[in-house]
Structure 1
Amino acid sequence: MKKQIHLEIEKIREQLYKISQYIGENPELGHDEFKASKIFSDELKNHDFQVKLGTAGLSTAFEAIYDSNMPGPSIAFMAEYDALPDLGHACGHNLIGTMAVAAGIGLSKVVNHYGGKVYVYGTPAEETRGGKVTMAEQGIFDHLNVAMMVHPFHRFEESGSSLAMDAIQFEFFGKAAHAAASPHEGINALDAVIQTFNSINALRQHVTSDVRIHGIIPEGGKAANIVPDHAIAQFYVRAANRTYLNELIEKVKRCAEGAALATGAKLKTSFYEFSYDDMITNETLSNVFTDNLVQLGVNRTKIQSKGSGGSLDMGNVSQVVPSIHPYIQICNEPYACHTHEFREAAMSDQGFEGLMLGATCMANTAFDILTSPELLNKIKEDFKSQ
């Protein structure tokens, strides 16, 4: 039956290529992915999926369901399709979204023989205000037995962990004054920002090695001869898990509070993007995916283990349903994501072959779950223990 899945995905090879190229050539930023959402939805409808648009109140999100009308597991593939400002699809989301759709269609062609439901979720804005965060908070994924997605990369990597992340903003309000004639009458909001950075730099000595804190000053004054009365600092604060990050973010807040107290500025604290939880890979599910990758011809020695890296809204999904987020090779050079070179790789023929491999491997992994209650139980046990 896995051969049948492979054949079904191959049948739509030409259409999948057109879709991935179309999305790559028409990049859309987060929550504006109307073209991508439509072309994916239309393709799924063509294969008898029931599609609901605007999932969780997000205009470019969707939920596509193929129901065998027989008891069985509910398995979901996650589609991402937002682009990066100025860079386009330099993270390969044109491949990720098309991979999920292809895997869903492939599995739908055999699920009637075994029972269960196939879901494809369109999840917008992964790069910024991650749609999966909102969808997870609203319980959209709670009924699922398994969720998976595959990310393009310059090598094969197993699903691993990711860093929990908070995007925090400190806005300081001071008092303007002439910086030469009457500086004593001013309250310098930029000084508060600079002291915040200095305090956070001092904090780095007293945090665990997994922590990453990096920030910018998007606003720091209008002219050098005016005491800045308004300044903003934005930080990404990351840690290996949500529990420690919650402790850490309070320490970071105190750095800004101390700076406000020292300078006399008023402080407003907010989160300018959604918070991402750490990715919890289901090891049983990950091992099944890796085994299927080997069965499809990938040398096991080429598949590297994955540690923690950046932050993913798939992490929020993994907190509520057994999940994986492995990486598939699409280029031979070690191009980093979010670069012009990686964007070109995501539009290349080799990139498309990676898409086909990833889609087939996800569908085969799902098939193993459909046909083995023992495997599904082991996945559930792992999830509970984690």
Structure 2
Amino acid sequence: MPAPSSDKALPAEKKAAQSRISAAADELVALSRSIHAEPELAFREHRSAEKVAVFLERSGFAVERGACDLPTALSATYGDGDLVVALCAEYDALPEIGHACGHNVIAASSVGAALALASVADELGLTVKLLGTPAEEDGGGKQIMLDRGAFDDVTVAMMAHPAPIDLTAPGGLSTKASGQIEIVYTGREAHASVAPHTGINALDAVTVAQVALGLLRQHMIPGGQLHGIVQEGGIRPNIVPARTKLAYYLRADTLADMHRLEERVRDCFAAGALASGATMEIRRTSPDYAEMRNEPWLADAFGANLTALGREAMPVPGEFRGGSTDMGNVSHALPGIHPVIGIDPAGFSMPHTPEFATAAATPTADKAVVDAATALAWTAIDLALDDTRRAGMLAVRRAGRSAAE
């Protein structure tokens, strides 16, 4: 792991990268604030993707809009070195509460890191690749882009996610594997007073299933989680509900554990159908998200670089051992990191809340954009300058590609 360095001890490449970010700091903050001001949902991030594309084109990158046949994905490249470093830029928001996961900070910091690395790409033998990855919150954009080849030439992939405080040990946020399912029960309408016996109550199926799920919680795999909502529950109290719809997330520490949990969960939903007489349909609403595997050396390097910037990382508290990301899928295919950077140390607002959305457009979030961009760029430079690690990462990717073929 590279040791924290004073400014005087910084390699010339790190100084150049930091200078490039400093010169563009106002523009990077403006990009973050602009994305924050116009939140867009999964696969509909047209304005956000265009803002990123225009910024990178102006900076000399070759930009492909609509990458991987996804209208709001993009791929921007600079340089032609053998070490291909991908920075992942997320920019989708959440319904009603906007950028309550801080993806505006992610996008701007990844753009900043790409800009910095482009300034030293020739000296370090780099190809810098900024991937605009849509639909992290709902839809698994990175998995789709993996399947369609966007990461095939990438050696390592990186991004930094905002959180209330800096967390770099062990390597950042520990995320869970997850699966998203939609359950639809279909029954038969009837007058709830005159002839209820002629109906099949799809809402009864929901009640039975949720009771079964509640009982299952005591016996779930350690680390397992369930959370869901009823999206449709009937029309009027005097009409026996003929259709109900639920959305559920299943999480576990590993993808294999999540699939084992799903078997039990499906039985609970089937019990609702059996008890009520309704029919049931279950379908996936997103690709599965694998647990994040932070590459240890890269994660430690990022932590050291945050320290060199004067930030103080905290141990990962228990309440942060959750959440899921499609960056986990990327980390199962190639070396990658998903560390976190603090944007609200005083308020300690949690992601996916209106308070965190507010925190994502504050001076501390603006500073996080610049610091995360610098730490990401420095981490890639550390790798490029370490001949042994560089050769090792390249070998890992060659082996991975051969196995895939």
**Is TM more than 0.5 here?**
yes
Q: Deviations over 1:21-66 (max 9, x none)?
A: 2112222222222221112111111222111111121101100111
Give the drift of 1:148: 0.7
> Equivalents in 1 of 2:174, 2:354: separation in Å?
26
| 1:126 equivalent in structure 2 | 136
| 1:338 equivalent in structure 2 | 352
Whether the 8 Å CA contact 2:28–2:369 is kept in 1: the answer is no
| 1:371 equivalent in structure 2 | 385
Among residues 271, 295, 298, which one is paired with 1:285 in the alignment? 298
Alignment of 1:152-231 (within 5 A): 152-158=162-168, 159-231=172-244
Among residues 370, 387, 395, which one is paired with 1:356 in the alignment? 370
Deviates most, 302-311 or 142-151: 302-311
Partner SS state of residue 333, structure 2: coil
| 2:31 equivalent in structure 1 | 19
Deviates most, 45-54 or 85-94: 85-94
Q: Deviations over 1:328-381 (max 9, x none)?
A: 112222111122322222211221111100000000000011111312355578
Give the drift of 1:225: 2.0
Whether the 8 Å CA contact 2:29–2:369 is kept in 1: the answer is no
- Figure out how many residues of one structure are paired with residues of the other and give that number: 381
Q: 1:175 to 1:139 in 2, by over 3 A?
A: same
> Equivalents in 1 of 2:364, 2:251: separation in Å?
33
Whether the 8 Å CA contact 1:172–1:230 is kept in 2: the answer is yes
| 2:3 equivalent in structure 1 | none
Deviates most, 304-313 or 214-223: 304-313
Q: 1:340 to 1:269 in 2, by over 3 A?
A: closer
> Equivalents in 1 of 2:173, 2:101: separation in Å?
18
> Equivalents in 1 of 2:278, 2:222: separation in Å?
32
Are residues 1:50 and 2:67 paired? no
> Equivalents in 1 of 2:223, 2:262: separation in Å?
14
Per the normalisation by structure 2, the TM-score is 0.89
Whether the 8 Å CA contact 1:322–1:380 is kept in 2: the answer is no
Whether the 8 Å CA contact 1:240–1:308 is kept in 2: the answer is no
Partner SS state of residue 88, structure 2: strand
> Equivalents in 2 of 1:22, 1:232: separation in Å?
36
Give the drift of 1:164: 1.1
| 1:108 equivalent in structure 2 | 118
> Equivalents in 2 of 1:175, 1:147: separation in Å?
51
Q: 1:145 to 1:382 in 2, by over 3 A?
A: closer
Among residues 64, 74, 79, which one is paired with 2:84 in the alignment? 74
Residue type matched to 1:305 in 2?
A: V
Gaps of 5+ in 2: 1-12, 401-405
Give the drift of 1:178: 1.9
Whether the 8 Å CA contact 1:96–1:149 is kept in 2: the answer is yes
Gaps of 5+ in 1: none
| 2:22 equivalent in structure 1 | 10
> Equivalents in 1 of 2:255, 2:395: separation in Å?
22
Among residues 71, 76, 92, which one is paired with 1:59 in the alignment? 71
Partner SS state of residue 319, structure 1: helix
Whether the 8 Å CA contact 1:283–1:382 is kept in 2: the answer is no
| 1:135 equivalent in structure 2 | 145
| 2:281 equivalent in structure 1 | 268
Give the drift of 1:133: 2.1
Residue type matched to 1:326 in 2?
A: P
Whether the 8 Å CA contact 2:68–2:149 is kept in 1: the answer is no
| 2:314 equivalent in structure 1 | 303
> Equivalents in 1 of 2:355, 2:193: separation in Å?
48
| 1:92 equivalent in structure 2 | 102
Whether the 8 Å CA contact 2:289–2:324 is kept in 1: the answer is yes
Residue type matched to 1:167 in 2?
A: Q
Give the drift of 1:137: 2.4
Identity %, equivalent residues = 36
> Equivalents in 2 of 1:268, 1:354: separation in Å?
44
Residue type matched to 1:113 in 2?
A: E
| 1:253 equivalent in structure 2 | 266
> Equivalents in 2 of 1:329, 1:65: separation in Å?
28
> Equivalents in 2 of 1:220, 1:344: separation in Å?
32
Partner SS state of residue 344, structure 2: coil
Give the drift of 1:382: 8.8
Give the drift of 1:275: 2.3
Give the drift of 1:286: 0.4
Residue type matched to 2:305 in 1?
A: N
| 2:4 equivalent in structure 1 | none
Whether the 8 Å CA contact 1:142–1:321 is kept in 2: the answer is no
Q: 1:376 to 1:207 in 2, by over 3 A?
A: farther
Partner SS state of residue 77, structure 1: strand
| 2:53 equivalent in structure 1 | 41
Q: 1:308 to 1:382 in 2, by over 3 A?
A: farther
